Structure 1
């Protein structure tokens, strides 16, 4: 008889704990908190990326999770079990955490197969099978007896990935793993790496300073600045809803208009912008990406301003134009204040310097932030 019919509660299964949980992590050097109250979780099969400029604390955070550095505050748990706090500490080799470094750190005196097998603790037959499986998946089976010096950078990266995954770690830590590769190789190798990590169900914590890499690989981005996480979420959300001007500018070039709030409105050469909840007299920055600045091709810059149904326009003069392959970048000197705004246009558009033009912008893609 179903339990609900005899008055007994139906048991509800509890969701599993996150694979990695970092809680209020702090690390201080010479009185400066280089990691400051950092908290986040990473689930099994998820790729989380610590993203930020050099010196923001992301690599120090990774080192503490790996166990090669010690925090001054906070705790780290794996699958709900404490790994370390300021008193208790599981040794790095017992944390079931794999590491993949920027320089790959392959052993030069070991063959590809022996590099991958390093650290495996099973029987000889099981180890050979695991090595063969992973080398096949990274397409390096033909190099089983080769040595690292005979491999290209991309091939070394694949071997390093196979070695890191060979012990089936619960978590894989990756510190700028693709920065040493030729730019032409990166995208393909990133995609191959991501597919393999997803297949393995490994929780991944990736450190990078490249927004493109984070957006291409991560399920969750943790944007760091001066030791703190200032914004977290899916790549789409961070790009389209930045928390402040610096966050918007980290992901792409930006144009910045300035103004002062009066009556919940800010007046600009492109018309008024709504700024509800911001006190009168507050200076604000209105941020717009170059691809959302529109050129009025139909009228040209010598005629009257576009009519209101086409949006409020501002007048500028071309300073220079550059062809970038898929698009052109055009810089304008604006009449109203002499500032320079940049617009990107798909395909080839190379107006001569000195050409006058009307510009409009997409209001739904503009961000308004109180100026700091």
Structure 2
């Protein structure tokens, strides 16, 4: 492991220790839900501490939004228990109504009231005299940078400004937990990062526990203290973003976070033969078919020298000759697609900056052994 990776893993461990010292805010145990006999949420257990952001990440239809709806109280679970600060909200016997749960909701649709001013939108639902609720609304609007728009109406605001009004309205009642269902997906990419960061700053200052649902890995890694990866109604892996990215549970988990190259093989004597030499497969019985997974950014490219490539190394293994199929510049980096000489299989590499070899160009590829994952083929 290189020094930067050591520091990153230590940082992830320190952050995990810090989170464990915070009081547990939301605790979900063995939550399950079926519709018309089809299980959509299957034995989900989650916990979120005060001031922590947990991201529920997964493809569309995996049960993320249904989980949020059960926590909010708008859907009733078939099994399981939901607790807030140790108090049972729902367990199949007890069921606190949504308005009594002290849980805030933010969705992709901001659902602002078009006939109310920005101030009245934020103050909507607050108890107390009008002057008091408006003072609370004005303080929140100042915190989200919209003090100058407090008398405006929603249609007079940009999408990013409407999003911040929705945030101020959601935190106005001081919820203990904030549930966010892809609230930033409708925003322009140029605005999204800044508004996400501002939103989290406000929620952390309030000490609110946040459960965020998204299908975008980049958003999850940018926002979350921890990620729970969901597939087919179940949590398949949970941990810090660094750990999920660098220690995926299986090939599908690795592929969810980035493009991957997959090299098939079969184990014989704890070794797998590939175009890039032998790979260790400890603990796998002879005859086990495996997939060796490596991300395109960890594929090293070298030039062809009259049919010869670079010498093998312990770190990069044996080189394999390949022919360029196509190359494209995709912003800060280039994507080069290859066909391996040995077996005709496809391989792609990502190279920083501009590197656009012509189709048909022979090059040599090497793959970092410490960046590969070996999984039994499902």
Question: What's the offset of the Cα at 1:17?
Answer: 5.2
Q: 1:333 to 1:16 in 2, by over 3 A?
A: closer
Unaligned runs of 5+ in 2: 1-20
Structure 2 matches for 1:84-233, cutoff 5 A?
A: 84-233=90-239
Closer, same or farther: CA 16–234 of 1 in aligned 2, 3 Å: closer
Query: Residue 23 of structure 2 contacts residue 50 of structure 2 at CA under 8 Å; is this kept in 1?
Result: no
1:184 CA displacement: 1.5
Contact 1:100 1:160 in 2 (8 A): yes
Per-residue deviation, residues 302-333 of structure 1 (Å, max 9, x unmatched): 44121123631011000111001110000001
Note the C-alpha offset of 1:129: 2.2
Task: Name the larger-Rg structure.
Answer: 1
CA contact under 8 A between 2:227 and 2:239: conserved in structure 1? Answer: yes
Normalised by the length of structure 2, the TM-score is 0.92
Matched, 1:306 2:310: yes
Q: Does the 8 A contact of 1:302 with 1:356 survive in 2? A: no
Partner of 1:366: 372
Q: Structure 1 segments of 4 or more deviating over 4 A? A: none
Partner Cα distance (1:16, 1:132) in 2: 30
| Distance in 1, Cα, partners of 2:132 & 2:371 | 55
Distance 1:250 1:301 in 2: 37
What is the distance in 1 between the residues matched to 2:365 and 2:136? 60
Count of paired positions = 356
| Contact 2:108–2:181 (CA under 8 A) maintained in structure 1 | yes
Cα offsets for 1:7-32 (capped at 9, x unmatched): xxxxxxxx775100000000011111
Instruction: Say yes or no: does 1:277 pair with 2:309.
Output: no
Q: Which residue of 2 aligns with 1:64?
A: 70
In the TM superposition, 1:284-363 aligns within 5 A as: 284-296=290-302, 299-300=303-304, 302-309=306-313, 311-363=317-369
Distance (whole Å) between structure 1 residues aligned to residue 345 and residue 154 of structure 2: 53
Two-structure CA RMSD over aligned residues (Å): 1.2
Partners of 1:34 and 1:259 lie apart in 2 by 34
SS at structure 1 position matched to 2:326:
strand
TM-score (norm 1): 0.94
